[in-house]
Structure formats: structure tokens, C-alpha cells
Structure 1
């Protein structure tokens, strides 16, 4: 695993403003971030995305709490379970901010999974387990969660108040 020197040099950020087709000429901002399969960069990646979303008008509470926790869980899951900590792989984060919502897509290079097969962490027999709560937390913190058919892309929607 490459050494991480505390700077965002290993993260590649792309920020674009563009018209949104078919939506009355409204504009949106798209943020793209490629994240290496290193748990050490999750916090910095989340901070970078959250700061941009806050600057784009996402409420302070949503940017500082809901987005940060949900994105941190999604990135960690993609790195650990999707990419299986393989340093030759990466995770892509795509954010689309419009007047009405912020949509985050987190894509890993793994085989995917069936989200309906993830057990409920609130079941009595699962309460003592140390893991298995990430997807549950994400679902509580965002307005909408979707997955692609393969199960290697999670889409999280935060609607603006």
C-alpha cells in the first residue's frame, strides 16, 4: 500500500458546472473524485466532498452530519468489501448537486452484492456484533438509497429542505 503523506495528492477531483438536460435550463454542478483503495484517505475524501456540497448550498446539518457519515460508510464498504482492500483498484465518487437535491454515486470495482441479503442489524442476535450497521446507517441518514443491478454502485440522495 503506498504511503499516505496527509495531503490530497492521491485524490483526483474534477468539478464541472453544466446544464441539466430536459429540466428547463437549470444548471447543476457535478463533482467527480477518484479514491484509491486506502482506508487512510476516506476522511480526507469525505471532507473534500462535504466542503464542496456545503459551498453549493446543502444545509450545514446535512453536509456536516448526514452526508459525512453516509459517504464515509459507503466509501469504507466499497474499499473493504467491494475492492477487498486491493490497492490496484479504486473507488469513484460522483456527486450531482441541483437546486432540489444532492445525489452521490459511490462505485467500486468489485463483484457487487445483493443489498436485500444484508441482515437487519437491529435483530437481537445481531446487536452485539461489531460490524454490519453501515448500510442501515446510510438508509437512516439519506432520503433515498438505490443500487445498480450488479450491486457495486450505491446511489444516495439528499433532498434540499
Structure 2
């Protein structure tokens, strides 16, 4: 894992901040990256709700899905996280080495009979609920499958 970079001071709010990490498919690597992204959101003035709920939950779900599903928990496979943040929005790209999935075909809902009994299958629902946009870029030979999360500062 390339180390997280320290957030810029709050006085530097006019500049776009970008960061990039390459992670092995190891769930223990998620939390430090998410904490850094949250700190970046705080530094540019995102709301407390976004920083305490939306950002950490949605990004944790995207990273876990990439590691567990996209890379099939193979520690030798990588997940690349790219972040661009400014005073208006956060964009997070999570790219795994898997074959991808059809995001538009997933219509998970808490109205489904087995919603509460399932151990998985809620990640995309949570991402969609907590972010303004969730997009999928299908796999290609060079970069794998990418899911993009976008959150506008309100």
C-alpha cells in the first residue's frame, strides 16, 4: 500500500486535492484509506453528516466489494483508489482486477423478503443511497473494473 498523504490545511480550500493508493486485496487496509479520505473531506468543509456517514460507509463498501468480489479475495490482486476532492465535490474511483458487473441490473431493496437475513448484497444499495452518483466503467484489459462514487458538497 502506498501511504496516505496528510490532508492539506483548511486554509488551502481553493485547490483540488488528489490522492491515489494501490492496495492488496486485504480488508484490513480499508480503514486507513477511508480515514484519510474523510480527513480530506473535513479539510475542504464537507458537512459532518457526509464525513461521519456517507463518505466512510460508501467508500468502505466499494473497497470491500472490489476486494471480495472483483478480486475474489486474492491478496495478490490489487485495488486502486483514486480520489479527487475540492470544495464542491468528492470523486472516488475504485478499480479492481475483476471482470466487473452490470450496475444497472442491480436493484437491491430493503423491500425484498430476505433483505435482513442476507449476509451480503447491500453494498451497491448503500452506495447509491449515500452518494449523489454511482457509476460503473466495465472492465478493460489495462485497468479492470472501476466503480465511481460522486458526492456533491451541500
So what's the TM-score if we normalise by structure 1? 0.79
The structure showing larger relative contact order (alpha-carbon pairs under 8 Å, at least 6 residues apart) is 2
Moved over 4 A (4+): none
1:90 paired with 2:78, answer: yes
| 2:38 paired with 1:50 | yes
Corresponding position of 1:139: 128
1:86-119 Cα shifts (integer Å, max 9, x gaps): 1111111111112311111111111111112334
Q: How many residues align?
A: 144
CA distance in 2, matches of 1:125, 1:36: 35
Instruction: Give unpaired runs (5+ residues) of structure 2.
Output: 9-13
RMSD: 2.2
2:38–2:51 CA contact under 8 A, matched in 1? yes
User: Residue 105 in 1 paired to residue 105 in 2?
Assistant: no
Cα displacement string for residues 3-52 of structure 1 (whole angstroms, at most 9, x for unaligned residues): xxxxxxx443468x9xxxxxxxx741111122221011112221122112
Structure 1 gaps of 5+ residues are 1-9, 18-25
CA distance in 1, matches of 2:36, 2:16: 18
Within the candidate set 133, 148, 152, 1:155 is matched to 148
Query: What TM-score, normalized to structure 2?
Result: 0.82
The Cα offsets for residues 46-72 of structure 1, whole Å up to 9 and x where unpaired, read as 112211221232222211210000000
